[in-house]
């Protein structure tokens, strides 16, 4: 148990000059502290494996910092469930999820790649020349599984306005009662001023922000993850025109096979998550005290 507790510490807490423990590091530190007279890294690994403790691995994590996190997240989750301000959405209400995918490069490989063959993986040349980068500004109709997108040199209010025009200029959005635009807090659509700007552009459009550091609540990110896997990995394009053509062609293709995402995270799940995070922070404060 003491060895497992040691493995759950940060090396810096023990004054060690590295960021992650290996099994060998833990074994040496256990001996130095007098926990055991001798032990091998293999034995440490076996003990840690029993509880799935892997101190050499980590993942990035951001705790909610928006003071109105629950309120803002609740608005988004309600829209996914078909409600706004406690009332059900009507047949002429629409929900759009939007964001930008920035710095998409055209990597010009020095040698043309080769397709897979029997007992051989596809080959992609390691060396490449940079052919520039562009941004992809996109919107996803949550209920209709429709994709809209533009390729632009850089993001900003003007490219976002063009995307909004692309969507709102066609039916059924042009004549809709309300079109809710879910977006993060990027500079193209940040704060109360962006809500007023959206209302000025289109009277039936309503800007809805996710909380800060909560892009995982934005369904367009799911589409972007599909795009990254199926279109941009591996990155092998002769120029930016080829990147743009592939992005827009995939957008059209995806609509032919797409279905609305099966979103299962609800307000109840959010409440449970926030309780767990509050308990975790409370335990951390108690440990520090």
Q: Is the peptide bond before 71 cis (omega within 30 degrees of 0)?
A: no
* pLDDT score recorded for residue 63: 74
* pLDDT score recorded for residue 78: 96
Closest CA to 224 of 153, 289, 137: 137
Distance CA 233, CA 236 (A): 8
* pLDDT score recorded for residue 166: 98
* pLDDT score recorded for residue 289: 61
Q: Domains plus CATH for the chain?
A: 2-50 (no CATH), 69-257 (3.30.420.10)
Residues of the chain predicted below pLDDT 50 = none
Q: Over the stretch 154-207, which tens digit does the pLDDT of each residue have?
A: 999 999 999 999 999 999 999 999 999 999 999 999 999 999 999 999 999 999
Contact 25, 34 (CB under 8 A): no
Token readout for 105 is: 């490069």
User: Rounded to 5 degrees, what are φ and ψ at 93?
Assistant: -110, 140
Token readout for 100 is: 């930008």
* pLDDT score recorded for residue 287: 65
Q: Strands 146-152 and 128-141: what pairing?
A: antiparallel
Closest CA to 220 of 142, 166, 151: 142
- The pTM assigned to this predicted structure is 0.85
Overall size of the chain counted in residues: 289
């Amino acid at each position: 148990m003491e060895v497992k507790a040691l493995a759950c510490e940060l090396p810096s807490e023990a004054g060690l000059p590295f960021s992650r423990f290996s099994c060998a590091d833990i074994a040496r530190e256990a001996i130095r502290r007098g926990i055991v007279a001798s032990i091998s890294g293999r034995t440490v690994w076996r003990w840690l494996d029993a509880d799935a403790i892997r101190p050499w691995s980590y993942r990035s994590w951001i705790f909610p910092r928006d003071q109105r996190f629950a309120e803002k997240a609740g608005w988004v989750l309600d829209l996914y469930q078909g409600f706004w301000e406690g009332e059900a959405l009507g047949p002429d209400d629409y929900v759009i999820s939007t964001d930008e995918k920035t710095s998409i490069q055209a990597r010009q490989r020095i040698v043309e790649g080769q397709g897979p063959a029997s007992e051989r993986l596809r080959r992609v040349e390691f060396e490449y020349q940079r052919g520039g980068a562009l941004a992809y500004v996109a919107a996803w109709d949550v209920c209709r599984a429709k994709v809209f997108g533009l390729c632009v040199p850089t993001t900003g209010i003007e490219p976002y306005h063009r995307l909004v025009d692309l969507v709102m200029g066609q039916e059924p959005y042009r004549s809709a009662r309300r079109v809710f635009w879910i977006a993060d807090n990027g500079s193209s659509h940040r704060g109360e001023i962006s809500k007023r700007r959206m209302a000025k552009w289109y009277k039936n459009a309503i800007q809805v922000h996710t909380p800060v550091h909560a892009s995982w609540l934005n369904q367009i990110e799911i589409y972007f993850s599909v795009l990254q896997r199926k279109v941009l990995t591996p990155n092998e394009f002769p120029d930016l025109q080829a990147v743009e053509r592939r992005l827009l062609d995939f957008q059209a293709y995806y609509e032919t096979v797409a279905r609305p995402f099966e979103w299962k995270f609800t307000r109840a799940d959010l409440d449970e998550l926030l309780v767990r995070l509050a308990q975790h922070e409370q335990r951390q404060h108690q440990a520090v005290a």
